[in-house]
Amino acid sequence: MIPFFKNFQHWFGLKPSLDSKNHKPPFVSEGQIWWCHLGENIGTEISGKGEKFTRPVLIFKKLSHYTYCIIPLSTKEKKGSWYISFLHRNISVMACLHQVRIVDYKRLDDKMGLIDETDFLKIQYGFQNLYTKNLPPIAGGTQENPEYSLIVRKV
């Protein structure tokens, strides 16, 4: 395997300028694709590319006006339950579900577009299948929320 050079010094130099951005958060919606400054990361964590350390990401969940749950995207063909493929602008794209993370609006660079509603549902189902299990209802719940009450067990 060819050693991969990581440019942490350049990324560390860029981070303060991103953090000091003094602009309003952009109008962001779930299902949009944005260029995002993911930076230079450790090990197998997905990094951005180029001088600005950016990568396309899917806005999976808008958590607040300032914060988003994103899924990094790749055009490299990948296999596994943690990848969901879809077409965007006639290009095959992989949603890397295992690389999901939370980002601040200051990391967003430029909007690329919106994915198809069917593809977004496919990604949501893939996410649900990867990160949840079919669990039985929790015992001792209330009539209103039987599945959300605390389990009290005798030891």
Q: What is the pLDDT of residues 59-100, one digit of tens each?
A: 999 999 999 999 999 999 989 889 999 999 999 999 999 999
pLDDT of res. 141: 55
Give the domain ranges of the chain. 8-131
Helix/strand/coil for 135: coil
Classify domain 8-131 at the CATH class level: mainly beta
Give the per-residue pLDDT at 67. 96
Alpha helices (H) along 7-91: 8-19
143, pLDDT greater than 60: no
User: What is the distance between the alpha carbons of residues 67 and 17, in angstroms, rounded to a whole number?
Assistant: 18
Decide if 86 contacts 115 (C-beta within 8 A). yes
What pairing do the DSSP bridges indicate for beta strands 67-74 and 101-104? antiparallel
Task: Please tell me whether the overall predicted TM-score, pTM, comes out greater than 0.85 for this model.
Answer: no
Cα 16 from chain centroid (whole Å): 22
The lowest-confidence range among 85-99, 104-118, 138-152 is 138-152
Q: DSSP 3-state assignment of 59?
A: strand
17 against 152, higher pLDDT: 17
